[in-house]
Structure 1
Amino acid sequence: MEARRTLALVLLVGVIWSQLQFGAEAAGTTVFTLSNNCTYTVWPATLSGNSAVAVGGGGFELSPGATVSFPAPAGWSGRLWARTNCVPETSGASLSCATGDCGGAVRCSLGGAPPVTLAEFTLGGADGKDFYDVSLVDGYNVGIGVAATGARVNLSTCGYAGCVGDVNALCPAELQVAGKGGEQSGMATTTVACRSACEAFGTAEYCCTGEHGGPDSCRPTRYSRLFKAACPAAYSYAYDDPTSTFTCGAGAQYLITFCPAQQQ
């Protein structure tokens, strides 16, 4: 019941902020709009990197086709992700998810357990610009797309970050995480996530540590190339910066879509 009340509150906040988005842009506030284009329910989660502010309440339920909007304070940095195949406890106090789980909490104060696809933001960074990316460094569980919107910036200079390809369908056997698919596959056993090579093998070559701890010594591997081929606009390994980090002028708003491939 508590989880449902939380969802209702977040949805109400989303409606209010959607209606006031123009005013938010005028005031310089950043609004994140999350849209679930998947055929199954996801539980988005957020984690702040530089602030005690839990944007979006830290986590909530998002049904197929649903959209929620919420604000982020100036200078906010952090990450967003989707949890999948989640089962709320009867009391609503905890949540067990097959992927992206944050210690069983509904509202996250910990990062999502890998493998998980991440959308990462730094608002108002160098030269006042926003920096954002979608990362597969911690593996992949669901596709995410990030598009800048709004009237106060030149959107032609703001790139689309994201992972449109279905990495789970391409995942090598040694990286696959199998589980019950739930809404995704009618409870059949399926690949619910794809681990990074670092998580799977733990070697310096794949983790960019030790003698491979720099951009010159940590190079793409056959696994990161597979991720990059599926998702050219996402981080495939730690030093995949040139084609994976995007910037946008201050005042941009952001649409974050789960399962963006199904839009195309």
Structure 2
Amino acid sequence: MTEKLPLFFLLASHLFVSGVLSTSILSIENKCKNTIWPVLYSWRSTAVSTTGFALKRGETRDIDAPSSWYGLISARTLCSNSTGYFTCVTGDCESGQIECNVSYGWSPVTYVYFNIDDGGTNTYKISLKYGYNLPVTVSPSPSQSTSGTCMSSGCMVDLNKTCPDNLKKFSGGTLIACASACQESGSYEDCCTHSFNSKQTCKPTQYVQNFERDCPSAYTYAFGDNNSIFTCSNTTDYVITFCPSSIPNITGSSMAPLPEPKVHKSQRKLKAILGGLAAVVVLIIIVVIAVVVRAKNARKKSVFNNENGQMRSQSFIPMISESELLLSILFCRLKKQ
């Protein structure tokens, strides 16, 4: 039983250190003309530190996404607390306050989905399935955005301008959002559900066609291609920018180059330090256990030899134990990280 302890601590230390180092930093930027109120909603996973907050024009807030986090990010607009009950014209989570409740109702806003550290990778997509209220981009850290599946994605066009008349949402005579056909009607045909749950029976609506043309990398249609899903390593950081500075005129499906995100060296360095300290503590524990195990084995061998009258001087050839082998493997993996 004692011999198995180093292996147990090795596995535990690997999981602990991986958990410390595999979190991703989500930097939410507001480049809109007015204050926005981002929402972060978690599904069946550890919740992030906040579910909602105010973000003034030009501000950025960093959020640590825990390992195995699955959730979404959106932004509320035109919010007010004048009546003592916090409400927003678009994206309201109906909690009556800036922070949102556990439950969440879909509304016609632009959503960003994240699945952090799912099997060693992160996936993300921008979704217009329920509608649109603000342009947004997602940019992975430059050191990671080198592969064909890890790259910037965005919907940088003001889609309210191409929204079908029957789906436009107004507030005080001002166009503020565009609902999807599914969000507006809830019909099986518009939502591609029940008997319409196939590409043959559920055809793209005018809403889908407009949005696919202007934001080709966003998810708009249940049976569209998979170009809207992007994949990076599980240590990638991201910048989510609402109202990016370059919003081209709507003249086609082309997208302007997306901005380079800031590199968060200090926070990544802090996580590396914490991981290193945790590894050192675990290494010390493993070394102590290995010494105790070898000492016990030596005593047992000595007693056995005495009882059989076979004690004699002999040369000693050191052998590497299982615990020492596991220890060297862990040390090599930590150096790579």
Question: TM-score over 0.5 for the alignment?
Answer: yes
CA distance in 2, matches of 1:48, 1:216: 33
Q: Secondary structure at the match of 1:155?
A: coil
Q: CA deviation at 1:156?
A: 3.5
> Matched residues, percent identical?
37
Aligned length: 228
What residue is the counterpart of 1:29 in the other structure? 23
Q: Secondary structure at the match of 1:260?
A: coil
CA distance in 2, matches of 1:129, 1:220: 31
1:56/1:177 CA distance change after superposition, 3 Å: farther
Q: Secondary structure at the match of 1:120?
A: strand
CA distance in 1, matches of 2:189, 2:106: 22
| Structure 1 residue 251 corresponds to structure 2 residue 235 | yes
CA contact (8 A) 2:129 2:221 kept: yes
| Structure 1 residue 237 corresponds to structure 2 residue 221 | yes
What residue is the counterpart of 2:204 in the other structure? 220
1:142/1:218 CA distance change after superposition, 3 Å: same
Q: For residue 131 of structure 1, what is the amino acid of its counterpart?
A: T
What residue is the counterpart of 1:135 in the other structure? 127
Q: CA deviation at 1:98?
A: 0.2
Q: Secondary structure at the match of 2:50?
A: helix
C-alpha RMSD of the superposition: 2.3
Larger gyration radius, structure 1 or structure 2: 2
What residue is the counterpart of 2:175 in the other structure? 191
1:216/1:253 CA distance change after superposition, 3 Å: farther
Is there any run of 5+ residues in structure 1 with no aligned partner, and where?
1-23, 181-188
Match of 1:174 among 166, 176, 185: 166
Deviates more, 1:134-143 or 1:203-212: 203-212
1:207/1:150 CA distance change after superposition, 3 Å: same
CA contact (8 A) 2:145 2:152 kept: no
What residue is the counterpart of 1:48 in the other structure? 42
Superposed counterparts of 1:3-18, under 5 Å: none
1:31/1:25 CA distance change after superposition, 3 Å: farther
TM-score by length of 2: 0.63
| Structure 1 residue 95 corresponds to structure 2 residue 86 | yes
Q: CA deviation at 1:238?
A: 2.4
CA contact (8 A) 1:160 1:233 kept: no
Deviates more, 1:163-172 or 1:238-247: 238-247
Q: Secondary structure at the match of 1:57?
A: coil
| Structure 1 residue 64 corresponds to structure 2 residue 57 | yes
CA contact (8 A) 1:46 1:56 kept: no
Q: Secondary structure at the match of 1:51?
A: coil
| Structure 1 residue 83 corresponds to structure 2 residue 76 | yes
1:108/1:87 CA distance change after superposition, 3 Å: same
CA distance in 1, matches of 2:83, 2:166: 35
Q: For residue 243 of structure 2, what is the amino acid of its counterpart?
A: C
Is there any run of 5+ residues in structure 2 with no aligned partner, and where?
1-17, 248-255, 257-337
Cα deviation code 1:180-230 (max 9, x no counterpart): 3xxxxxxxx211000001122332221011221134543322220101112
1 or 2, which has the higher strand percentage? 1
CA contact (8 A) 1:38 1:262 kept: no
CA distance in 2, matches of 1:25, 1:163: 32
What residue is the counterpart of 1:125 in the other structure? 118
CA contact (8 A) 2:46 2:66 kept: no
CA contact (8 A) 2:164 2:206 kept: no
